[in-house]
Structure 1
Amino acid sequence: MKDQCIKVQQTEEDIKALQDTIYVIGGKWKLPIIHSICNGNNHFKEIERSIPGITTRMLSRSLRELEDNKLITRTVDPNVPTLVEYEFTEYAKEYGVLINEMIRWGKHHKKMIIGQL
């Protein structure tokens, strides 16, 4: 089994980069939020409805962190007092490949665990 691992030279810089990535996408909510926005849910309530189990407080906090990390933008329409729209940034498009691969792997993993492989 050990021979089947992907081997790369491990440096301190690589470990720190991996830790940075985990920090940005960490937790169970950020990836689903990005996925939801990428699938056209641009308003707070749409995003909230599309993610089972997320609380309003957690969504608000996670959106702020994603905005701080330049993965989404938040736009407030001055003509409609409560209309706020979230969009993913060009920078976040790179993230899409990672998200899709994680979804693929997660489906495969679940089948493996429940014995369907």
Structure 2
Amino acid sequence: MLPFSRVSIIGLGLIGSSVARAVKAAMPSVRVTGYDAEAHVRERVRDLGFCDDVADTPGTAVIDADLVVLCVPVGAMGSVGEAIRDDLPAEAIVSDVGSSKQSVAEALAAALPG
């Protein structure tokens, strides 16, 4: 049994798209939902098809997610946390690919209920 059935990726640039492709390659039955702040990026991802679903808001992207991977600049982590707070399942695991883990954790702790 796979550890996740639904993975959401917030930020579909180089790193986020690589994460999405890796999940699909390693676990093809996992449903991958992506979101990017840029509409043209979302459209390109739809065209390329490496996400099963592309959401138009960060909150919509995390509904029913088992795992959420934040692939946005470290300075944007707090605002993304706020944007997903109301739709994030309580049991979802949230991780990030930022290089400054302590500041990310502080930003998410401030934004997410707890």
Q: Structure 1 length as normaliser, TM-score?
A: 0.27
Q: Structure 2 length as normaliser, TM-score?
A: 0.28
Structure number with larger C-alpha Rg: 1
More strand per residue: 2
More helix per residue: 1
